[in-house]
Amino acid sequence: MTEIHSVRPLLAISLAFVMIIVVVLFRRWPRLRHAVSVGAAVLLFGIVASLIQPVQQGQTPTTNLGTLVGTVELSFQADPLGLLFALTVSGLWIVTVTYNIGFTAGDGLTHRTRYLAALWLSIGSGLGVAFASNLLVLVVFYELTTIGTYPLVAHYGSERARKVGVEYVWYVIGGGTLVVGGTVIIYALAGTVTFVPGGIPELAEIATDRSLAAYVALGSLLAGFAVKGAVMPFHAWLPKAMVAPPTVSGVLHAVVVVKSGVFGIARTVLEVFGPDATATMGVAVPLAMVAGSTIIIGSLLALKQDDLKRRLAYSTIAHLSYVVFGVALLTPAAVAGGLVHIGAHGITKLALFFCVGVVTIETGHKKVSEIAGIGRQYPVTMGAFAVGACSLAGLPLFAGFVSKWYLLVGSAEIHWAVPLVFVLSGALNVAYFWPIVYAAFFETPETADPKPLIDGPLGGRAKAQDDETDESPPATADDGTTDKRAGAFNQHETETERPQAGPTDSSYTLYKESPTLLGSLILLGVLIITFGILPGELALFDLAKQAAEASVGEVFE
């Protein structure tokens, strides 16, 4: 890769942070604020996308602002791995900020200026993580994502939301401390923390000597990044964070936070220690075992959840470890598949969370056991959900199949039994998504067989109780009264109190009046299918292959 001077990486990051100020200044003009945010999001993606051609041509656009500390420079670069993450963040942000217009109105969300400003801070921090040219700069923005997402997790202001927010902060501060410690040790050992495809040469030499300090540094980085990456046993904060609004859940699960964790693991293995040193130190196999266990256990726990958002949360825990597992296998195809899954899972999981958001706004239902017949009333929403479910199950012609195919082929190079992790995971995905799709389209509230299946005899459920509830304040309808459907994220309904599927009157027509919700779901559905049918035409796929080939070798065609 040839380094070239370019202000575009810094410009993209700066635009996101400038928008925080703009959002605050336009707090009295919400419509203008939304319009400017959508326009800025499109411009942001355009800036990031303009970096695709030079990167694919073997160039590395770089902005160098001088020395940060010691010999570490404050610089930002667009390399294949970083640009892949930046495209995922900036591209999905357009859909998120558009969806947010309809959602904030439907949910009766308060403190909307603070909410949108915090979202912009999270996006800017995520881009900083993506474009950081060295580990120290990455750590700075990695910690900034915490500052941006804490007020989002605790946004509803209930006792439950504040408690979860504090727990989330403790988790990520602990992880961040480990990352900082690992960075300091690496600087002391190698004299640099700059990312190098294949690993920092000075560090590789030390690692081959099995230095204790090298083990401590690598372990600190992997464990620290694993916290936000929700790798077990550091995953507990993620399902609890579902107390947040679905737009936040999308940012947490699909766009920034958890992806920054697995992205950090990929940077560590591929461009800090390097594949050879990671394998020589004997860390790759344990990392793969932990990731494989997380994939299976996370999927099994998803089966147990009756709450839709919590089921998606455990699904996220499992799918994040697809990335970690692929990177840990250290074969070109597996690494490429893991990196492709950053984008494929991001698009898909965002669609699923947004579908749940629409269903809850419109009907007040937030449980698997409450959605029978909803597909007939909201065919586009549940159709988009079905598309997302097919993608995560790894079915052909959907985005998830692309990443899973490369993971299967790459894992088979290790041993014939390794691909069974993904085969079993795919079966479990079908098991916890199919009941939702089936109930929505082929059952009615009167004939529905309660879910999830794992809680009782085959074909039904003996009982299902959530161990967590949302306690955020009720939202208000258009007439100023408390509305059970509009405030569905802010209440907990028992099995005996659940309402019938669909709206009970015609006065609540937000969905029909909000093309931003419907349009966002359609766009995400189209992206999922396009990714699955024409992966080679999308930059994410090429960048993943390029990043894998730079570190571990040529990926098969």
User: Residue 161 contacts by C-beta under 8 Å, 6 or more apart in sequence?
Assistant: 153, 154, 155, 243, 244, 471, 472
Sheet holding 59-69, edge to edge: 2-5, 59-69, 72-77
| 174 falls within a domain | no
| 354 falls within a domain | yes
Q: How far apart are CA 410 and CA 94, in angstroms?
A: 33
User: Residue 82 contacts by C-beta under 8 Å, 6 or more apart in sequence?
Assistant: 130, 131, 132
pLDDT of residue 186: 92
| 108 falls within a domain | no
Ramachandran quadrant class, 553 (left: phi over 0; alpha: psi -120 to 50; beta: rest): left
Tokens at 280, concatenated: 């020589």
Q: Is 355 helix (H, G, I), strand (E, B) or coil?
A: helix
* End-to-end Cα, the chain, rounded Å: 21
Q: How far apart are CA 417 and CA 408, in angstroms?
A: 10
| 46 falls within a domain | no
Q: Over the stretch 252-283, which tens digit does the pLDDT of each residue have? A: 667 788 899 999 999 999 999 999 889 988 89
* Exposure letters 463-477 (e unless 16+ CB within 10 A, then b): ebeeebebbbeebeb
CB atoms within 10 A of CB 279: 15
CA-to-CA separations, 111 to 257, 437, 478, 500, in angstroms, rounded = 22, 34, 17, 31
CB atoms within 10 A of CB 484: 16
Q: How far apart are CA 357 and CA 378, in angstroms?
A: 13
CA-to-CA separations, 320 to 313, 362, 367, 517, in angstroms, rounded = 11, 30, 23, 26
pLDDT of residue 425: 93
| 112 falls within a domain | no
CA-based radius of gyration for the chain: 22
Tokens at 210, concatenated: 């099995």
Domain that holds residue 444: 283-458+508-557
pTM: 0.87
Total of domains in the chain? 1
CB 517 within 8 A of CB 378: no
Q: 80-106 and 539-551 helices cross at what angle (nearest 10)?
A: 140
| 68 falls within a domain | no
Q: How far apart are CA 149 and CA 143, in angstroms?
A: 10
pLDDT of residue 472: 41
Q: How far apart are CA 339 and CA 331, in angstroms?
A: 12
pLDDT of residue 504: 35
Lookup result for tokens 């591209």: 91
Q: What sign does the dihedral 357-359-365-368 (CA atoms) show?
A: negative
| 415 falls within a domain | yes
| 193 falls within a domain | no
Going residue by residue through the chain (557 aa), what tens digit of pLDDT does each one get? Answer: 788 999 999 999 999 999 999 988 988 888 888 889 999 999 999 999 999 999 999 999 999 998 888 888 999 999 999 999 999 999 999 998 888 887 776 555 667 787 888 889 989 999 999 999 999 999 999 988 888 777 777 666 667 777 877 778 888 888 889 999 999 999 998 888 999 999 888 887 787 777 888 899 999 999 999 998 889 888 888 887 766 676 666 776 677 888 999 999 999 999 999 998 899 888 999 999 999 999 999 999 999 888 888 899 899 999 999 999 999 999 999 999 999 999 999 999 999 988 988 888 888 888 888 888 888 888 889 999 999 999 999 999 999 999 999 999 999 999 899 999 999 999 999 999 998 999 889 887 777 666 554 554 433 343 334 444 444 444 433 333 333 333 444 433 333 233 333 333 333 344 444 777 888 899 999 999 999 998 888 889 999 999 999 988 887 65
Q: DSSP states of 361-414 as a string?
A: HHH---BGGG-TTHHHHSHHHHHHHHHHHHHHTT-TTSHHHHHHHHHHHHHHTT
pLDDT of residue 109: 60
CB 178 within 8 A of CB 139: no
